[in-house]
Amino acid sequence: MLFRNLIALGALWMLLGQTGVAQEQKSPPPTTERPVATPVRPKASPTPTEPPITFNSVHVDGPYIALTFDDGPSATLTPKLLDLLAARHLKATFFVVGQNAADHPDILRRAVKEGHEIANHSWSHPNLGKMSDEAVRRELQKTDDAIAAAIGKRPTLLRPPYGSITARQKKWIHDEFGYRIIIWDVDPLDWKRPGPSVVTARILKETVPGSIVLSHDIHPPTIEAMPATFDQLMKKGFKSVTVTELLAMETPRPPKPTPSPAVPHATAIPSPSPVSSPPPPTATPGG
């Protein structure tokens, strides 16, 4: 009896073992999940920045400035100014009115021969910002032609009379003529004729490295102011170059320092001060 029970138990054990094996074989193998790659988006290329067209001053490494003179040439005053510049080995830029340039091409040729630069200041000194494109074009083209006829090459700089010009005008003038627009950061208001000493004092006070200094070579007091102005600028270490040379010296402006976060200060607990006796009363004057 015991023997039969053992045989039956063994048979049952074998049956259970086979069933487990069959279930293991029928169960699907575990699947390995593949990670989905995140698509890499291409970085947007930086938008190229257009070079500047307009200049009031230039950031430079060194004591360089540009002396500029408008509205000439004058038959009598500009040669005197050229003499003063030559005696000191200084360079300047002359923004000439086309009518005057056409009348005195010999002065323009002398200026270029002595290392100075000639630039466009319109034909008749109008307010360009209030004119039609065609009228502005005529003003600039006639002056451009007069300068080219006098010195054999065309100017690359424009100073609009009164500094008056619109942003849209700057763009098409630059595209059409290739001009860079030159304004200024030092203006002694010499056209008001405040006196030579005032002109000199204003220029000396406002001029810094990279400055573009405005004056006019058609006013006698301005020419009278220039010997002292030149000498004092040179004494300060300034070196005058043409505007085009100054633009070529431009260096990037250093980034502004980022302010550090303010650190809260611990509130100091004042220590008790010693009690002092009040001072003796003093007599009131006039009492």
**Residues annotated as catalytic (active site), given as ranges:** 70, 216
Residue where the block lists tokens 């270029």: 112
d(CA 27, CA 34): 21
Q: Tokens at residue 80, please?
A: 């005197």
Q: Tokens at residue 21, please?
A: 């094996």
Nearest-10 Cα torsion for 218, 222, 223, 225: 180
Cis, peptide link before residue 257, omega less than 30° from 0: no
Question: What three-state secondary structure class fits 162?
Answer: helix
Residue 162: which residues within 8 A CB-CB, separation 6 or more?
Answer: 127
d(CA 167, CA 234): 36
